[in-house]
Amino acid sequence: MTLIRQQLAQRLMIDLRHFSFDGVLKPVTQLDDNLKQLISSRGIGGVILFGENCQSAQQVRWLTDELQDASRAGALGLPLLLSIDQEGGRVVRTDRSWSTSLAGNMAIGATAAQHGDDYATAAASVIANELDALGINTVHAPCVDLNNNRDNPVINVRAFGETADLVSTLGLASCRAFASAGIAATLKHFPGHGDTATDSHTGLPLVAHSREHIERHELQPYRKIIAISPPPLVMTAHIQYPALDSSTVAGEIRPATMSRAIITGLLRDDIGYNGVVITDALDMAAIAKLMPPSQAVIEVFNAGVDIALMPLKIRDVSDFAKLDALLDRLEQALQQNELSLAEHQQSFKRIRSLKSTLKIEHSDLQTLACAEHRALELSLAQAAVTTVSGSRPEILDNSKRLLLLLPGKPLLQGLNQALAQLGGNEIEAVDISEEVVDWPERLARCDVVISGFVSPRQSAAELGGVDDLRLLDEQAVINAYQPNRLVVPLQLAQQMAKPVVYLSLRAPYDIALFGQYADWTLASYAYHVDSSEDPGASLTALAQAILGQFSPTGKLPVTVE
C-alpha cells in the first residue's frame, strides 16, 4: 500500500452502523476479524458512531478501544478520529438511561438573558466528559446555524437562536468547554443551514440572500469564533449559496460542500480558518442524487475539504471492494492532476496534527449520568422554561381536575406522570393524535386544560441519517399531529371559560397558532421522555412550573409572531 494511498484513506470517515455478521445484518457493537482488518489494512482515518453502535457505556468503551487498537496496528500507526453527533437536545446518539439527557441548544439560548453563557459552558462540559469516558474524541457540535426560518425542518431547536450575537456567544462558550475537556469540536454547518425550508438529507436547499445579508447573519458566528478560539473542525453544509458561488456542477448550482469559492476562498483565505474541514454526510440526498461517490469525493477535495464523511456504505465484506475502488480512483485523480498533490499533502498534515492532540487516557465510566450531571439536566430544563404570554392561572393553586391534551402516548404518559408525582391532581389524559368526539363532556369535567403540541416532526438528523428516512414515513403518530385536533378543544374551552395552559414542547413557532387560545403559554424547547418510570428533566420542569414550584425565567431566543 503506497504512502499516498494511506494518506488518502486518512481523509475518509466511515460509519459502521450495521454489518453482516455470518450473513445477518446487525448493529456493530463490537468488531469481528473482518472489521478489524478493514480498519488496519486500509488505514481509514475516522469512524462516526450512531445510536446502533451505543448499547451501553461499557460496550461503547470496549468498541472504541477495539477500533483504536485496529487503527494503531495499521501502517501509519495513527489513532482514529472517533466522532459522534452529540449536540444535546434532539440529536443525541447515546441512550438516556445511562447517559445525560440535556435539553439542547435552543433551551440554552432561552437561558442566556438570565445566565449568560453559563449553561452553554456547563452543557458542553458534561457532553465532553461523558464522550471522553466512552473513548470518543470528536464531537460534531456545536451547531451554530441561525434558525431565522420558522419553517426549517432540520435545524429549529438545534440552534441557539436566531441572532448572530447570541449564537456566536454560546457557540464560543461551547467550543471552549469542549477544548478544555480534550474533545475536538466541530462548528457546523458552514456557511449556515438555518435559513432553509429544505432538509439536505432529503433535498438540496438554496439560500437566496445577498452577500451582504449572509455576512451580517450566517457568517458572523464563524468569523467571531474562529477569530477568538478556532475549533479543530468545521463541517460543511450541502446547501446552494448563489451569492457566494453561482457556478454549477451536475446541472445544479454548486453546493457549499463542493465550492472552492466557499471552502477555500471564504473559509480558508477570508475568514482565516486553518483547521480540519469535514463534509456533512455525503450519503445525504443533497449530494448522493448529484453524482456517484467517487466523483463527490473528488469534488469536495478540490473545494478544499480535508475529510469526506460517509462517502459510501460498508455493510458487508463485499463492500470492502467499493472502498478499494474509491481509493483507486482517488490515487488516479492525484496521478492525473485532477486533484492537487500539494493540497492533498496539506490536508493530511492538518489531520495528522489534529490526531497528535487527541487524548490517550480517558476518564472513568462512572462520570456518565452521575448525580452532578443529572442535576444539570434538571437545572437547565428549569432555567429554559419560558413564559411567552399570559400568566399562571390562580385556579391552578386549588384545582384538582386537570384535562391533559398532548399528541402521542409516550409524551402524554410522561407529563401525566410528572404532574402526578408532584401534586395530588385528578388528571384526565387525552391523546390528541387520536380522534375525539366528546369534547364538551370532557371539558365540563375539568377545572383547567393543560395542552401542548410538538412541531415540526422529527428529521433524519435526529433519527440518525438517511438510513432512517423510511422511519419518517412510519411516524404515523407524528403525521397525525394535525393542528385542528387541538384547535377544536381549545376553542371550545375558551367558549366555556375554562382556563387553558398551552405548552410549546419543541420549536416555539406553534405558539402563533395555539397561543391565542391560552391564558398562559409556556415554551420548553424539549420534551424528552426517558422511560416509563422517569418522565425526564424537561417534562418534570414543566410540571413544576405548572404547579407553581418555580417561576419561569427563560426568554424566547427566536421570534414567534
Active-site residues, by number, are: 280
* Dist CA 507 CA 455 (whole Å): 6
Q: Helix, strand, coil % (nearest 5) of the chain?
A: 45, 15, 40
Task: List, in order, residues 6 or more apart from 479 with CB less than 8 Å away.
Answer: 457
Beta-sheet strands, E only, within 341-445: 386-390, 401-406, 426-431
**Is the distance from CB of 455 to CB of 480 less than 8 angstroms?**
no
* Dist CA 550 CA 544 (whole Å): 7
> Buried b / exposed e across 155-179, counting CB within 10 Å, b at 16+?
bbbbbbbbbbebbbbbbbbbbbbbb
Nearest to 281 by CA among 193, 346, 217: 193
* Dist CA 553 CA 555 (whole Å): 7
* Dist CA 149 CA 143 (whole Å): 15
Bridge partners for 244 per DSSP: none
The cell 483547521 sits on which residue? 275
Task: List, in order, residues 6 or more apart from 286 with CB less than 8 Å away.
Answer: 200, 201, 203, 204, 205, 238, 239, 255
What sections of 368-423 are H helices per DSSP?
A: 371-384, 409-422
The cell numbers describing 453, all together, are: 403540541
The cell numbers describing 27, all together, are: 448493529
* Dist CA 156 CA 506 (whole Å): 9
Q: Is the dihedral of CA 185, 190, 192, 198 positive or negative?
A: negative
* Dist CA 300 CA 258 (whole Å): 5
- Encoded amino acid at 381, one letter: A
The cell numbers describing 303, all together, are: 473545494
Instruction: Report the run of H or E that residue 485 belongs to, with start and end.
Output: helix 484-495
| C-alpha of 135 from chain center | 20
Bridge partners for 237 per DSSP: none
* Dist CA 49 CA 309 (whole Å): 12
- Encoded amino acid at 208, one letter: A
